[in-house]
A and B are shown apart, each in its own frame.
Chain A
Amino acid sequence: MPSASALLRAATSDTPPRLRATGLACARGTRVLFRGLDFELGPGQLLWLRGRNGAGKTSLLKLAAGLAEPHEGRIDIDGVPARRAERQDRLVFVAHANALKDDLAAGEALAFLLRIHGRPFDGATLDAALDRLGILSRRDAPVRTLSQGQRRRVALARLAVEQRPTLWLLDEPFDALDTDGLSRVNAVLAGHLYRGGSIMLTSHLDLDTAVLHPIELDLDRASSLAKP
């Protein structure tokens, strides 16, 4: 009989899971979105969060990023509770909002984000990252002059700078991207998985399963099974 949790085991069981949730419950105000959630995410794995609007996908990402306190249960990154970990070293969180200031140039905005998260970079690295996302030509343009898709590319260019197999938490990364953008982002994600990194993302668009091999976690199913 199905238990009140969705259990996914890490592919290589001797390495500690990158991300692990145990009995996790999330509340929005007084409403409990889901309860009793258990899962693990290991190196080289991509977890695709699914569910209808308001099911708690973004909330789960924020819990993993340590930006919110769990209602019940715990969520750990490399064995350390997400709320207390040195998060900027262990993960990259690209939210639905791009975190780019309108009045900064694209390159400046990207440099700011890299700087505050302690990612070493120089002009060449910055240019290379923007180029991988196909947006180098707009490096000196103010962010407010960029289209939504272009801004998304700049925001995701942070991922192209990452060398280490960290945990990536992405909220609707493919939003507003055209086919070229999609293929570039897929390449970046695939490269990260190949290096042993882990990714947890939400997307209402279908993922390229051939390239990314996502494991699906349906929050609707988890929450309905977990009703008290």
Chain B
Amino acid sequence: MGSLLVAVYLRDLRLALRRRIEALLPIAFFIVAASLFPLGVGPEPQMLRQIGPGIVWVCALLAAMLSVTGLYAGDHADGSLEQMLLCEYGGLAAATAKAAAHWTVTGLPLVICAPLFGLAFDLPADAIAALVFSLVLGTPMLSLLGSVGAALTLGLRSAGVLLILIVLPLAIPALIFGTGAVAAVDGGQSAQGQFSLLGALLIFTTLTALPATAAALRISVE
């Protein structure tokens, strides 16, 4: 199982490197979408500072959801997924590897881009740090939850919208605690509580979403 995990993870990274433009599209979406908000609500710095963390989080959430739809579609279409599922614990290994690859290719760049918008919304330095840390804990959760959705909606016509409908409610706690952490730091308090909750949520999500994804893959491939 370990060799399958590493093999799939490295393969996915290699494939993303060979299609660099496509791999970075979610980040482009993130940047464009987040930039729309000042245009929509006005450039007043005080207000932007207040809603900034929320905007960054929601746009990161949407960018992650948009990019996760195709997580299994390619492998399903060319038969690679079936081959992976032949191995013992193949579903679990594939789910782990692909969620990790998705985070490396999409989540990590989002985390790196976040400080830019922290500056664009004129957040103080400690708030930006809190924002980045909350995304470090939150984006893996989005990849994990997105995997469950992608596995369930495999091969369906309106998979993208269905995935968003199913996964977004599940991502709400991460959104709340993530933005709550930044708000706490911005208000001069410690965000220890929120970060602990986020960490606990991340562990819980990892332990439940991966087996759920494996089960969903078996259901969808049958």
- Give the docked Cα–Cα distance between A221 and B80 (Å): 33
B60-95 to A contact mask, C-beta < 8 Å, 1/0:
000000000000001001111011111110100000
In the complex, identify which listed stretch (A96-104, A131-139, A159-167, A179-187) lies at the interface while the others stay far away. Answer: A96-104
In the complex, identify which listed stretch (B8-16, B38-46, B48-56) lies at the interface while the others stay far away. Answer: B8-16
Q: Say which size band chain A's interface belongs to.
A: 20 to 34
Given contacts A103-B18, A104-B11, A112-B11, contact A117 B87 (CB under 8 A): yes
- Chain A residue numbers with a CB within 8 Å of B7 are 112, 115-116
B133-159 to A contact mask, C-beta < 8 Å, 1/0:
000000000000000000000000000
Given contacts A86-B88, A99-B78, A116-B7, contact A93 B83 (CB under 8 A): yes
- Give the docked Cα–Cα distance between A91 and B82 (Å): 13
- Chain A residue numbers with a CB within 8 Å of B77 are 97
Are the CB atoms of B11 and A117 closer together than 8 Å?
no
A176-195 to B contact mask, C-beta < 8 Å, 1/0:
00000000000000000000
In the complex, which of the residues A96, A99, A103 contacts B83, with contact meaning CB atoms closer than 8 Å?
A99
Which B85-129 residues have a C-beta within 8 angstroms of A? 85-88, 90
- Give the docked Cα–Cα distance between A75 and B123 (Å): 63
Are the CB atoms of A68 and B11 closer together than 8 Å?
no
- Chain B residue numbers with a CB within 8 Å of A87 are 86-88
- Give the docked Cα–Cα distance between A87 and B89 (Å): 11
In the complex, which of the residues A67, A88, A112 contacts B88, with contact meaning CB atoms closer than 8 Å?
A88
Are the CB atoms of B18 and A117 closer together than 8 Å?
no
A97-128 to B contact mask, C-beta < 8 Å, 1/0:
11111111000100011011110000000000
B215 at the interface (CB under 8 A from A): no
Are the CB atoms of A100 and B11 closer together than 8 Å?
no
A65 at the interface (CB under 8 A from B): yes
Given contacts A87-B86, A104-B15, contact A67 B221 (CB under 8 A): yes
Are the CB atoms of A97 and B79 closer together than 8 Å?
yes
- Chain A residue numbers with a CB within 8 Å of B90 are 88, 116
A212 at the interface (CB under 8 A from B): no
Are the CB atoms of A67 and B85 closer together than 8 Å?
yes
A66 at the interface (CB under 8 A from B): yes
B4 at the interface (CB under 8 A from A): yes
Are the CB atoms of A68 and B82 closer together than 8 Å?
no
Are the CB atoms of B83 and A113 closer together than 8 Å?
yes
- Chain A residue numbers with a CB within 8 Å of B189 are none
- Chain B residue numbers with a CB within 8 Å of A102 are 78
Are the CB atoms of A101 and B78 closer together than 8 Å?
yes
Are the CB atoms of A115 and B3 closer together than 8 Å?
yes
Most buried by A among B74, B80, B83: B83
- Chain B residue numbers with a CB within 8 Å of A118 are 3, 87
Most buried by B among A66, A68, A115: A115
- Chain A residue numbers with a CB within 8 Å of B3 are 115-116, 118
A69 at the interface (CB under 8 A from B): yes
Are the CB atoms of A97 and B78 closer together than 8 Å?
yes
- Chain A residue numbers with a CB within 8 Å of B4 are 115-116
Q: Which residue of B lies closest to A65 (CB)?
A: B86
Q: Which residue of B lies closest to A118 (CB)?
A: B3
Question: 5 A-B residue contacts at CB 8 Å?
Answer: A93-B86, A97-B77, A101-B74, A116-B8, A118-B87
Q: Tell me the A residues contacting B by CB distance below 8 Å.
A: 65-69, 86-88, 91, 93, 95-104, 108, 112-113, 115-118
Q: Tell me the B residues contacting A by CB distance below 8 Å.
A: 3-4, 7-8, 11, 14-15, 18-19, 74, 77-80, 82-88, 90, 221-222
Ranked nearest first, the 8 interchain pairs of A and B with the lowest CB-CB distance are A97-B79, A99-B79, A103-B18, A115-B7, A88-B87, A99-B80, A116-B4, A99-B83
